[in-house]
């Protein structure tokens, strides 16, 4: 039968031509169905890829944020407890307590927020970190190790995230350099940031009046003899970029350090130290960071994290 049908088709000049052929010949109905399924899978992946990435990035960043908050809270609790047990004058203020030589040696030294670890072995670096004051040592998990230039040539530094500052006319209690935290107050229509600065370790005060600060036993406020300690940390995401709402859509915030405006200078009469070299989420002279996304350099998503703890002062010097 097959030969007879072929002869008949040849005699009449009629042939059957497939209109759906692939690189390896005509496709059956099953082959067309497999190719359609592969195309549908690509479309489905394109639809869910963004949601999958956001879920993955969110999981990573929430984990980092929780870890950072736990480290901050532990440091604040231990630091406040240590200050509460320090033998300091009853009339001493919080600032005077932080300038006390014994407090600098055992509790917190702002000058040790930037450590030059060049030419140190790993054993020497670890020994240096193990001998830091209590709060400094508690903040070690949040510090960065990178090679940057902060005015003395490129060196290896172990430093707390933020802006590096120095004192032009240092007093007897001012460190050579330290770190302050930039706080973004607002962004204009072009995404340019206006910032001010907060210290890493500060006292929680009920008002702007220094006389009402609670640390001193002669405070004019409602609380006297209270160690109210706050520690600040600039959390900046490694996998998420900062956005601003403009024209009905979210627009990535461009990383433009030259357009940053300072609403107030660094506290204590300090000046910013230009930081060059290095790259990543805490780079730049203000420590606001850089990331690459969609072919441009943008700011990472950031939040100013704070932890606080309060203890009643227990020991006073005579």
Residue 167 has pLDDT above 90, yes or no: no
Q: Which of 15-29, 107-121, 200-214, 274-288 shows the lowest mean pLDDT across its residues?
A: 15-29
Residue 251 has pLDDT above 60, yes or no: yes
Question: Cα(118)–Cα(115) distance, rounded to whole angstroms?
Answer: 9
CA angle (129, 132, 133) in 5-degree steps: 155
28 band by pLDDT with thresholds 50, 70 and 90: low
Question: Cα(53)–Cα(239) distance, rounded to whole angstroms?
Answer: 10
205-220 in b/e form (b: 16+ CB < 10 A) is beeeeeeebbbbeebe
pTM for the predicted model, two decimal places: 0.83
Question: Cα(289)–Cα(283) distance, rounded to whole angstroms?
Answer: 4
Residue 33 has pLDDT above 80, yes or no: no
Which residues are within 8 A (CB) of 2 and not within 5 positions of it... i.e. 6 or more apart? none
pLDDT, residue 246, reads 77
The pLDDT > 70 percentage for the chain reads 87
Residue 24 has pLDDT above 80, yes or no: no
Kindly list the domain boundaries of the chain, sorted by start residue. 49-312
Q: pLDDT tens for residues 42-67?
A: 777 777 877 888 888 889 999 999 99
H-type helices in the chain, by residue range?
A: 2-12, 29-84, 94-99, 101-106, 122-130, 134-138
Q: How far apart are the first and last CA of the chain?
A: 120
Residue 39 has pLDDT above 70, yes or no: no
Given a contact cutoff of 8 angstroms between Cβ atoms, the answer to whether 78 and 136 are in contact is no
pLDDT, residue 16, reads 47
Given a contact cutoff of 8 angstroms between Cβ atoms, the answer to whether 200 and 113 are in contact is yes
Given a contact cutoff of 8 angstroms between Cβ atoms, the answer to whether 79 and 231 are in contact is yes
Compute the 3-state secondary structure of the chain and give helix, strand, coil in percent, each to the nearest 5.
35, 30, 35
Radius of gyration of the chain (CA): 31
């Amino acid at each position: 039968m097959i030969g007879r049908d072929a002869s008949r088709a040849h005699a009449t000049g009629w042939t059957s031509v497939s209109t759906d052929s692939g690189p390896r010949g005509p496709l059956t109905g099953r082959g067309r169905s497999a190719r359609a399924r592969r195309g549908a899978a690509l479309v489905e992946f394109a639809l869910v890829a963004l949601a999958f990435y956001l879920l993955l990035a969110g999981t990573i960043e929430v984990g980092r944020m929780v870890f950072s908050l736990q480290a901050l809270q532990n440091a604040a609790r231990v630091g406040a407890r240590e200050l509460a047990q320090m033998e300091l004058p009853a009339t001493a203020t919080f600032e005077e307590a932080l300038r006390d030589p014994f407090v600098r040696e055992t509790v917190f030294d702002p000058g040790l927020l930037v450590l030059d670890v060049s030419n140190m072995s790993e054993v020497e670096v670890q020994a240096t970190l193990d001998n830091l004051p209590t709060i400094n040592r508690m903040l070690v998990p949040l510090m960065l190790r990178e090679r940057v230039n902060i005015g003395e040539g490129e060196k290896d530094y172990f430093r707390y995230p933020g802006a590096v500052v120095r004192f032009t006319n240092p007093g007897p209690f001012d460190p050579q350099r330290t770190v302050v935290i930039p706080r973004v107050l607002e962004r204009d229509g072009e995404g340019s940031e206006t910032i001010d600065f907060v210290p890493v370790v500060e006292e929680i005060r009920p008002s702007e009046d220094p006389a009402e600060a609670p640390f001193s036993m002669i405070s004019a406020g409602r609380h006297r003899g209270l160690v109210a300690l706050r520690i600040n940390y600039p959390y900046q995401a490694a996998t998420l970029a900062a956005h601003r709402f403009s024209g009905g859509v979210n627009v990535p915030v461009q990383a433009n350090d030259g357009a940053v405006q300072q609403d107030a200078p660094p506290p204590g009469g300090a000046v910013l130290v230009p930081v060059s070299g290095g790259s990543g989420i805490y780079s730049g002279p203000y420590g606001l960071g850089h990331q690459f996304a969609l072919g441009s350099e943008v700011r990472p998503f950031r939040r100013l994290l704070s932890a606080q703890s309060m203890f009643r002062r227990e020991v006073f010097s005579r």
